[in-house]
Amino acid sequence: MTAPGLFDAILARGGAREAVSDRAWLDALLEAEAALAAAAADAGTLERSTADAVGRACTADRVDVTALAVDAAASGNPVVPLVAALRAVLRADGEDEAAAAVHRGATSQDVMDTASMLVASRAVAALTTDLVAAADAAASLARTHRDTPAAGRTLLQQAAPVTVGLRAAGWAAGLDDAVAALRAWRPTVQLGGAVGTLAAFAGDGRAVRAALARRLELDEPVLAWHTERGRIAALAGILGRAGAAVGSVATDLVLLAQTEVAEVREDVPGRGGSSTLPHKRNPVGAVSARAAAVAVPGLVAAVLTAASGHEYERAAGPWHAEWVPLRELLRTTGSGAAWLADSLGHLVVEPAAIEAALGVTGGLLLAENVTTMLRGRVADPKTLVTAAASTSLDSGRPFAEVLAEAVAGTDVTRAEIDAALDPSSHTGESAALVDDYLATRSQEDRP
């Protein structure tokens, strides 16, 4: 396992971190080179024994990743020194024919792009697992709190009642959609040779490419995509969508955990303390998930910027600019997913605080419901209720009392007003909506 950096435990949590490590990249590059030789044997252009020798050399313990990183500067990518290192290993083993077969017909970008697809697919699998865990935790909250009324908020102001379950179902739905998009993404092999013509394969290039795709379990393209970076851009967009889903939920959790709100809290003993304030219990999981989500759009932009302006058959610079932000995007999105799963998995809902929030406005939260109740019984109920709400706000008098005065002389009773101001009477179809959503989830295959 890679030694953690100073910020990694906070900003690089989860399985995606190891999936994009230097060791993971080296393993993917070696896997691509070994599979290329094996694919050539599958296509009948290389002896199987020669391909097997290349495969035996493609192990991480036979390549110095530090030396590889240093030597990459001379050629502008790590594949050139990797190929030299593999050939040196094979010659030292007396495998001269295999040494000559390493990387045959390919260009550096073929191997680098193919390795990037392997790395990305494994990182996506890791972060998807965490997103599923987060969505499952949110769905569980939706089920448990299906009927719990809570103050709905728009523009950070109380608006009308919802249920805790409906809010949690919304969290889960966004995460589920992000998972579906990630699972639909298809990593694709790269093999075109120096300028995408497969010329060095002497007519067998498409057969080798097909075999390479089969061996690595990657999709096979019709043409090389050296300068057509739509696949990378699409991945960036999907990761951006996942980051947005994480950020939306994490922001809600941070706000709901505020001292003045306190409708939820993270129950993780020993976590959330302050360097100076003994009483603090910060929602570290939600805060860290939000931190990752905040960083994701900038990384998406960097990947998309790198994807543009690729010239002719192979790009001078934009391709190279893609490597670091793509790696960071995978790691950062994965970190947000892992932290959110942790936060939701340890979330405690506080019913007393939720009930107290429902009463903060003295019934104004139910103004819409009162308007509905008065339809057909008073002239212009919207204007009447709006005026009563303003009077209540300006004077500090209970909303119910002001309403009772406003409807004096009609057949509307105080009991009807009080009933209309009961939050549980105005959560609409929240419970049914939660049921509908949970039913769609139960019909899905959720590994």
Provide the annotated active-site residues.
Answer: 274, 314
Contacts of 176 (CB under 8 A, 6+ apart): 135, 441
Question: Burial letters for 370-380: b for 16+ Cβ neighbours within 10 Å, e otherwise?
Answer: bbebbeeebee
Q: Which two tokens stand for residue 424?
A: 């549980």
| Neighbour count for residue 348 (Cβ, 10 Å) | 9
| Neighbour count for residue 427 (Cβ, 10 Å) | 21
- Ranges of H-type helices in 217-361: 230-256, 284-307, 318-345, 351-358
CA-to-CA separations, 445 to 76, 145, 168, 234, 316, in angstroms, rounded: 44, 24, 21, 25, 44
The DSSP output letter for 274 is -
> Could you tell me which residues are beta bridge partners of residue 161?
151
Q: Which two tokens stand for residue 399?
A: 């909303």
- Name residue, tokens 């609409």: 428
CA-to-CA separations, 267 to 11, 225, 270, 360, in angstroms, rounded: 21, 48, 9, 26
What amino acid occupies position 35? Answer: A
Rounded Cα–Cα distance for residues 334 and 318 (Å):
25
Which of 235, 411, 395 is closest to 329 using CA atoms? Answer: 235
> Could you tell me which residues are beta bridge partners of residue 149?
163
The answer to whether the CB of 13 falls within 8 A of the CB of 288 is yes
The answer to whether the CB of 264 falls within 8 A of the CB of 214 is no
Handedness of CA 303, 309, 315, 316 (dihedral sign): negative
Query: Which helix (H) or strand (E) segment is 157 a member of?
Result: strand 157-163
